[in-house]
Structure 1
Amino acid sequence: MNPIFRKRISRRSVLRGAGAALALPFLDSMIPALNANEALEKPPLRNAFLFMPNGVNPKNFTPPGDEEKFELTPMLQPLANVKDDIMLLENLWNEQTSGRNGHWPKVPAFLSGGFVVRTSGRDMDTGGVSVDQLLASTIGQGTPLPSFELGVDEAYTGVDNIGGGFTRIYGSHIAWRDPHTPVPKEIIPQLAFDRLFRTGPAAPVVSGFSTAHPAVAKSLARDDISVLDLVLEDAHSMRNQVGMNDRAKLDEYLESVRAVERRIENSLKPQKRWINETGYDAKRPGAGIPDKHIEHVQLMLDIMVLAFWT
């Protein structure tokens, strides 16, 4: 029987096209043939922190039971398939935030654990670097983007004089590069997607600006060619180099990328909106922001999953 030789693919391989670079999921072909001098190569370590203002209702979230013998509440039911792989932590407490304003100084302390200095904005100090940025500086070299900050709200401005004189910038960011510098977040799904997969001047990295910003408007106004169409030739070549399992994994991944692209396009199409008769008219979100909040959140979460997958 003739031996089958498999071409090894680098873990850092990407599908390339004009103005696009599509990172790949971890494939079997990226694992080297083992010998005494080689170690098994693994996907890069990943970590994600999700923040919800005001938290959740404990009765709907905290499951009854102890340690591994707990029951999933309705809010946690989506985790049923991975119940044996998750750990739920309770009774966490940050002494540095005890007895202080319940909003602005609590947000940056979520990942820094530090004492947030009361200020109107010129001398911000969160008391520490956020843990996500510490991880990025330690293991971030294993990925094209050391860290990837997403959100659904623009940064707050001004000072909350009613709530204790804290700058509202504190409440706008959970990621802090150092105690004085927040890391900008991307709130426009299309631009977040572009940061993952597009390259070159046609895909500016714009964070922390409203959709009226010239750079954002330019990006949203350009002809939107699917990133998959741009890398199609390279994708066909890649499929010919890998085995059946990798082909199936690659096809599933590419279809997921395409599905997110379609949903981004559909979310930006104008929709008829009903306005009630009380005279209250919620302003329509700017270009690039989905009209429905739940759709905006879901898109950002799906883009986060794609970032984990690549």
Structure 2
Amino acid sequence: MTNQPNTHSVSRRRFLKGAGGAALSLPWLESFTGHCLAGSGGKALAPAKRLAFFYLPNGITRRGFFPGEGDRPLPKFAGQNNVWRFEGKTVPVGNHPLTFTPTLAPLHKIRDKVSLITGLDRIFQHGTDSHAQCASCFLTSVAPFKVKNSAYPLSRTLDHIAADSIGRATPYSTLELSCNDHKNNIESIYFDNMSWYNTGHVAPSMRNARKVYDRLFGTRSNTRFRNITDLALGNARRLQRRLSTSDRRKFDEYLESIRTIEKRMDRIDSMKSKLAAASIKRPAEHLPRNEYIHLMGDLLVTSLQIGITNVGSLMVGPERWTTPTNWEGILDKPHSHHAMTHAPQNHLEDLLKLDRFHVSAYARLLKRMDGIEEAGGTTLLDNTIFTLGAGMGDGTTHQYNDLPLVVAGGGGGTLKLGQHVHCKTGTPLSNLWLTQLRCLGIDRKSYADSTGTITGVLA
């Protein structure tokens, strides 16, 4: 995440101000539309377009994710640099009705707002670990050895290129979050970061939910106050009297979303103090894994909602990292996700549970975004391009082709959704990234190793 807020004026936003200069940015409210129209020469201001990513580490179990692969044999472990393709029933190139496999089933309730994209390949540069390239090069995909003095095909990542255009008027141009709360840094930064300012210059992700909250919603003057919303309570009451009935409901929902996050923070603090006082060995994790991932996702969505940023990413875990993780609420005992992918014959059910949970966490965020109203009868999801994906097509084969990808949100009406788009074998992942840049209104002839756009995803 950028270290300094941008200084550009945010004329389309209103703020609640309280004691000590504390401020809360507000979501879009129709009651301010007249003010915005007057300031824009009478022309309606379209909602901002946003871009977000939900990254899955260590690939996925293909038979649960991909349509037509439910009966594929479980592959045996293979080292890095593999290109492996299923030779059974395959999906023809083109656009097809969306099929919900067991892993994709959580997306069914929001099926009209998502598309499955298959057949895309990620670039690989020989000489470095496949897992490290999965994360660090997922959003860049520079052709092999085109970047001088780098062991990775890594340049400025897609999120920062997009933010150069759509992130200039927000307090933070980009937001990078990660659900890796391991304290043992046994891997290099390339395994644990997907966002890069440029070659060799990482945009480090934030992992501690409390610190993320304080950074985004706190102020220098409010550290002695427990509840940030209390700082602006008086101003909020005055503002509510000026709002329409529908705006009051949205305003209440917005404040409640902030309070909900604060309540979760209270539960985290409560658990920490209880564990510290107990005469037992402290568990490896103090927060249930499922709640941790949900909370970080909520922080991302709220940041997009209120205009703290228009571009964000969430890694639900690091690549490789062999330290066992407590998967409370998901699995019955600690496991290393990476280690399980090397022996799917022994861990198939647990791997499928993890994959389904990750997709359900993504679906949960999509549903929430689709309930947040914006101008013109649209929702936050309608104005966002939110991609779920992995930089590895299978955690067992370590293949970097035929990646699992789901694109959600309308991109401001630029995307065609509710379909399965299967691309021609060998189509670069960067073709999807170039397509998304253009949907955001960013005019580029090419991106990384792209060969064109994916017209099948366009409205």
SS in 1 for 2:197: strand
**Deviation sequence 1:51-80 (CA, Å, 0-9, x none):** 121122222222457735122234333323
C-alpha contact 2:150 2:199 (8 A) present in aligned 1: no
Q: Does 1:308 align with 2:304?
A: yes
- Structure number having the greater strand percentage: 2
Q: Does 1:102 align with 2:104?
A: no
Alignment partner of 2:45 out of 37, 41, 48: 41
C-alpha contact 2:16 2:236 (8 A) present in aligned 1: yes
In structure 1, the partner of 2:211 is 191
Alignment partner of 1:149 out of 167, 173, 176: 176
Post-superposition shift, 1:157? Answer: 4.4
In structure 2, the partner of 1:213 is none
**Deviation sequence 1:103-145 (CA, Å, 0-9, x none):** 112211101113688xxxx977553111001111211023221
Q: 1:16/1:201 Cα in 2 relative to 1: closer, same or farther (>3 Å)?
A: closer
Q: 1:240/1:116 Cα in 2 relative to 1: closer, same or farther (>3 Å)?
A: farther
Q: Does 1:60 align with 2:64?
A: yes
In structure 2, the partner of 1:26 is 28
Report the Cα distance in structure 2 between the residues aligned to 1:80 and 1:98, rounded to whole angstroms: 39
Report the Cα distance in structure 2 between the residues aligned to 1:91 and 1:114, rounded to whole angstroms: 19
Q: Share of identical aligned residues, percent? A: 29
C-alpha contact 1:60 1:75 (8 A) present in aligned 2: yes
The one-letter code of the counterpart of 1:22 is L
Report the Cα distance in structure 2 between the residues aligned to 1:140 and 1:15, rounded to whole angstroms: 22
In structure 2, the partner of 1:299 is 295
SS in 2 for 1:50: strand
Q: 1:157/1:86 Cα in 2 relative to 1: closer, same or farther (>3 Å)?
A: same
Report the Cα distance in structure 1 between the residues aligned to 2:289 and 2:17, rounded to whole angstroms: 33
In structure 1, the partner of 2:438 is none
Alignment partner of 1:90 out of 96, 115, 118: 118
In structure 1, the partner of 2:408 is none
Q: Compute the TM-score of the two structures, normalised by the length of structure 1.
A: 0.73
Q: Where does the alignment leave 5 or more consecutive residues of structure 2 unmatched?
A: 1-9, 69-90, 276-280, 307-459
C-alpha contact 1:22 1:196 (8 A) present in aligned 2: no
In structure 2, the partner of 1:170 is 190
Which stretch shifts more, 150-159 or 188-197? 150-159
Alignment partner of 2:161 out of 118, 121, 134: 134
SS in 2 for 1:229: helix
SS in 1 for 2:131: coil
Q: 1:153/1:131 Cα in 2 relative to 1: closer, same or farther (>3 Å)?
A: same
SS in 2 for 1:103: helix
The one-letter code of the counterpart of 1:230 is L
Instruction: Provide the aligned C-alpha RMSD in A.
Output: 3.2
In structure 2, the partner of 1:180 is 200
The one-letter code of the counterpart of 1:56 is I
Report the Cα distance in structure 2 between the residues aligned to 1:29 and 1:126, rounded to whole angstroms: 48
Report the Cα distance in structure 2 between the residues aligned to 1:142 and 1:234, rounded to whole angstroms: 25
Q: 1:58/1:158 Cα in 2 relative to 1: closer, same or farther (>3 Å)?
A: closer
C-alpha contact 2:218 2:228 (8 A) present in aligned 1: yes
Alignment partner of 1:70 out of 98, 113, 116: 98
Q: Does 1:259 align with 2:255?
A: no
Q: 1:62/1:17 Cα in 2 relative to 1: closer, same or farther (>3 Å)?
A: farther
The aligned length equals: 261
Report the Cα distance in structure 2 between the residues aligned to 1:173 and 1:104, rounded to whole angstroms: 9
Q: Compute the TM-score of the two structures, normalised by the length of structure 2.
A: 0.51
Q: Where does the alignment leave 5 or more consecutive residues of structure 1 unmatched?
A: 1-8, 160-167, 203-221, 274-280
C-alpha contact 2:128 2:152 (8 A) present in aligned 1: no
Post-superposition shift, 1:97? Answer: 4.2
Post-superposition shift, 1:13? Answer: 1.0
C-alpha contact 1:108 1:174 (8 A) present in aligned 2: yes
Post-superposition shift, 1:85? Answer: 2.2
SS in 2 for 1:47: strand
- Larger RCO of the pair (alpha carbons < 8 Å, separation 6+): 2
The one-letter code of the counterpart of 2:57 is P
